[in-house]
Chain A
Amino acid sequence: MPFVVAWAIFATYVLAARGVRNLFPISVFDMYQAHAPEYVARVLVVDAHGATAEVDAFDDWTCEWEVERLDRLEPVCGSRHRPIEYVTRDQTHWIERHAAETPGPETVTLVSRAYRLRPEAGAPPHEDCAVARCTVRRRDAP
């Protein structure tokens, strides 16, 4: 009996999900279902030595912006720069919540880094688009 019940409910859920796609509690779980585009982008921090870091590695942000919003980079950086929207939204919130009145001790550049996904081995080539020049304080600094 449980075998029949399980497979009938399994088939029901799969068929229902193919119809409605995502409506709680039914989901087709279609996250990242498509083939990746040739270029993928991510906003990163580049310090004075060229090292990369995440936005949340820094506090006390003051910035001069090149773009209107982090999730609208295309007008300035071009069509290759389409970072995931919720990632840039989280980054924007971090910068806003950790803003400073006075400039921090370190100068960094906020860049959109567009990687080109090639089938060959090796680090994917990338191009950076500066979106802001900022002063910050490194969180793990003494």
Chain B
Amino acid sequence: MSRLWGSWWDGHPRTVMRIGIAVIVGLEQLVETFQVDWQSRAPDKYPPTGALSRWLAEVPGAAWVLFALIGIGLVAVARDRRPIAGGLWALAWAAVLSEWQTQIFGSPSRNAFFPGAVLLGWTLGQAWAVSMGARADREGKASRERLGEAGALACLAAAYVGSGLSKLLTAGVSWADGAQIRALVLQQQPVARWDWLAAYREAFVVDPNVAVAASVGTLVLECGGLLLLFGPRLRLAWATLLVALHVNITLLCTMPYVEPMLLLPLTCIPWPTVFRRPPSARPAEPGGPVIPWPMAVALLGLVVAAWLAAPWGWRATG
């Protein structure tokens, strides 16, 4: 089984990854907080559409209070002090902020979901290690963060695979005919101030073959996101391709997904090798069943809760 998985971080402390995840989540939540704060103060343009948004709009500085609460959890994550409780705490308050934004803006920020998903995975992975009896010493911490990395990568991969699946389940293989790529360029930003950029966008609009190639490439790269869950070299190669996908989307539509473009390098580049960190002993595999029953119950419960919460989930219309 271990031959199927590998990480550049094995044998090295994951301090940079841990702090990096907390910082990226924090920066994204800071952006969300700014948006929600000023949008909530312009009810003529962003009318509150639910009880939560109406109530929070009455509380002075509510968005910043939420950000402070999120920050407390993220500091705990970054410092590795009660990281599981800290992660869940931050996610819970960020969920409130996200719901508030959904109620006033009309849709949630999908940019925020990437770091949120990674923090969820990081937290679940650590919970898995604890449920297997990971101790509070240095070796236990290494074991905990090793599974945290696995969880973080799992949720990052799930984001891309989920996106690819959504396209295939909604539009079928016809999504690959290039129409949506051309539509995106035309609807989002067909005009560019730089001639080279205008010509680049025009190539996708006027040549269906270019648009088809981009559509097929998008589906392949997104569905192939599960390749992040094997060895480190394959992970690095696929992460590079996914960053290239985001760069292309930014060029075509001016839709920068900065968060995954930070998370992919953070988790997939061999930073310990880049910075020539000396390796330490790998943590011993914890004993007990591979899937401890508390984790099995927790993961199953998460799926059931998500399906029960379907009426409250936001649904895209197009």
Contacts and interface: CB of A to CB of B under 8 A. Distances in A.
Interface of A: 1-10, 12-37, 40-42, 44, 52-54, 57, 83-87, 89, 93, 115, 117, 119-124
Given A24-B94, A27-B159, A115 B186 contact: yes
A25 B113 contact: yes
A52 B302 contact: no
B73 interface: no
Contacts of B99: 23-24
B146 A2 contact: yes
Given A14-B158, A52-B191, A54-B189, A26 B306 contact: yes
B154 A27 contact: no
Given A31-B110, A124-B205, A40 B150 contact: no
B206 A122 contact: yes
Contact of A26 (B117, B149, B170): B117
Contacts of A2: 2, 5, 7, 146-147, 149-150
B316 A10 contact: no
Nearest to B95: A24
Which of A35, A57, A84 has the most CB atoms of chain B within a 10 A radius of its CB? Answer: A35
Contacts of B270: none
A28 B108 contact: no
Nearest to B230: A3
A6 B188 CA distance: 36
10 contacts: A4-B1, A5-B125, A10-B158, A16-B307, A17-B158, A20-B312, A29-B160, A30-B315, A32-B318, A119-B208
B151 A9 contact: yes
A50 to B, nearest CB: 13
B84 to A, nearest CB: 14
List 6 tightest A-B contacts by C-beta distance, closest first. A25-B116, A19-B307, A16-B306, A24-B98, A36-B183, A29-B163
A24 B309 CA distance: 12
Interface of B: 1-2, 4-5, 7, 45, 91, 94-95, 98-99, 105-108, 110, 112-113, 116-117, 119-121, 124-125, 128, 146-147, 149-151, 153-155, 157-163, 165-167, 169-171, 174-175, 177, 179-180, 182-184, 186-191, 193, 202, 205-209, 226, 229, 285-286, 290-291, 295, 299, 302-303, 305-310, 312-316, 318
Contacts of B309: 19-20, 23
B310 A21 contact: yes
Given A14-B161, A22-B113, A115-B186, A6 B95 contact: no
Nearest to B179: A36
Nearest to A27: B113
Contacts of A4: 1, 290-291
A30 B113 CA distance: 12
A27 to B, nearest CB: 4
Given A24-B113, A27-B110, A57 B187 contact: no
B65 to A, nearest CB: 17
Given A6-B154, A12-B302, 17 more contacts: A2-B146, A3-B229, A6-B229, A7-B154, A10-B154, A13-B162, A15-B306, A17-B306, A20-B309, A23-B306, A23-B312, A24-B91, A28-B163, A29-B110, A32-B184, A35-B179, A115-B186
